[in-house]
Amino acid sequence: MIVFNKYFKIVKQHLGTIIMFTAICVIVTIINTNYNTQDSFKSVENNIAIINHDNSKIVDNYIKYIDKGSNLIDIKDDKKEFQDALYSNKVDAIIIIPENFTKDLLDNKNPSVKIKKSNQSFSMITELQTNKYFNLINLYANSGMDEELIIENINKSLDKEVEVKIIGNNDLASKAKLYMFFSFTNYSFLAIFIFIIGTIMCIFNKETIVKRNTISSEGLKSIYRQLLLGHILLTLIIWLVYVIFSIILFKEMMFTMNGLLYIIGSLCFAITCTCLAYFIGTLIKKESIISGVQNVVSLGLSFISGSFVDRTLLDSSIVNFSKIFPSYWYIDVNYRLYDTSTYNMDALMPIFKDYIIILLFGILFIILSKLVVKFKRK
């Protein structure tokens, strides 16, 4: 296992870079945590516009509920108008309630309201309130109550919540931070894995080293198997470090269903990043261009997939384009986790589907690598 043994000695030489990216991720999360204390939630009222295509008592009641904690702003129902309002910070979020929303909700069809946000951290609160409200409705509707009764009950339980609002807000804030932390791992995983695995592959693919390994009695197959083992162990170690940081930052939140699903998502993404790094490693010959490739891929994918900027702020063609990369689906998982508070089958299925899509990308990268190697041999 001499190759495996020296693999980690080589990794040790690049520990600084790994620590740097991890530190960035943790620091960004901590800064955000301190910035958005509960006070700032209380003192800042969001400017919210609601575009209502569905006239029902439940929706009217919802608007009243949102009105309590935010300033309602009137804007025209027009796409261009939305974008202008968001960019000029006239509104922090626009909530669009589709036609037949209430009917679908009561029929248990899981409809959703569209939320366009400009400022992630502030408007997240509105978003979470919205989700909570409609989740509760769903719960009551399932127990067979009619519209009137639902409204009565929901107002009661939301009134009760006012008393624990500070705690509740704090909870919401942490939830948003959790989402931020894991969304940021999209960048740090891509950066770290492309850098370290790409570098190690370049080192072992150098012509002089390959020649030297070929004439040794170890056998190339065994050497590449040991390298693979190194990649796998390295991936797990780095992922585990991030899990430990998430536990330090978010404590018991990580031991809920929600936290667990975040952790599983990050593992899937870490594996796929390793596969992508492996693919890139087969394409690159020179160690010197790795950091360039690493920056382009990690920053690029993080921007277009909504890891740095909220998706609603991005042009829809960019968002659609980003679907051909695993980052889109990873951010998708994290967003769903942030968006969901009850975990029934309906909520879990799309999350699992995203996990599988992320892992399929991993398999695709491995197949592509094999093709490249075959092509190169010819």
Partner 1 sequence: MEKIIEVENLTKYYGKFKAVDDLNIYVEKGKIFGLLGPNGSGKSTTINCILSLLNYQDGKIKIFGEEMKPNSYNLKSKIGVVFQDVAVFEELSVYDNIDYFCGLYIKDKKIRKKYVEDAIKLTGLEDFIKFRPKQLSGGLLRRLNIACGIAHKPELIFLDEPTVAVDPQSRNNILEGIKKLNKDGATIVYTTHYMEEVEQLCNRIAILDKGKMIAVGTKEALKELILVGEKITVETDNLDKKIIKKLKEQKNIIEVKYEDNILNVTYEKGEENLEEMISFLKDNNVFYSKIFSELPTLNDVFLELTGKELRD
| Residues contributing to the site for partner 1 (CB under 8 A) | 2-3, 5-6, 9-10, 13-14, 203, 206-209, 211-220, 223
Instruction: Identify the CA nearest to 33 among candidates 41, 43, 22, 44.
Output: 41
> 2 or 164, CB closer to partner 1?
2
Give every CB contact of residue 239 below 8 A, 6+ residues apart in sequence. 189, 266, 267, 270
Which is nearer to partner 1, 34 or 217 (by Cβ)?
217
Give me the least distance between CB of 212 and partner 1, in Å please. Answer: 4
Give the three-state DSSP class for 27.
Answer: helix
178 versus 202: smaller Cβ distance to partner 1: 202
User: What's the CA gap between 68 and 42, in Å, rounded?
Assistant: 12
Residue with tokens 């979470």: 128
Q: Which is nearer to partner 1, 215 or 345 (CB)?
A: 215
Cite the DSSP H helix spans in 251-378.
257-283, 290-305, 316-321, 326-339, 345-377
Cβ at position 242, least distance to partner 1 in Å: 24
Determine contact, residues 319/306, Cβ cutoff 8 Å: yes
Report d(CA 194, CA 178) in Å as an integer.
24
* Sequence letter at residue 140: Y
Residue 250 has, within 13 A of its CA and on its CB side, a CA count of 29
Closest to partner 1 by CB, 3 or 313: 3
Q: Which amino acid is at 151?
A: I
> 180 or 192, CB closer to partner 1?
192
**DSSP state for residue 249 in the 8-state scheme:** H
- Closest approach, Cβ 216 to partner 1, in A, equals 4
Minimum Å gap between C-beta 171 and partner 1 is 46
Residue 207 CB, shortest distance to partner 1, in Å, is 8
Nearest approach in angstroms of CB 288 to partner 1 is: 12
Strands, E assignment, 46-113: 46-52, 70-73, 93-97
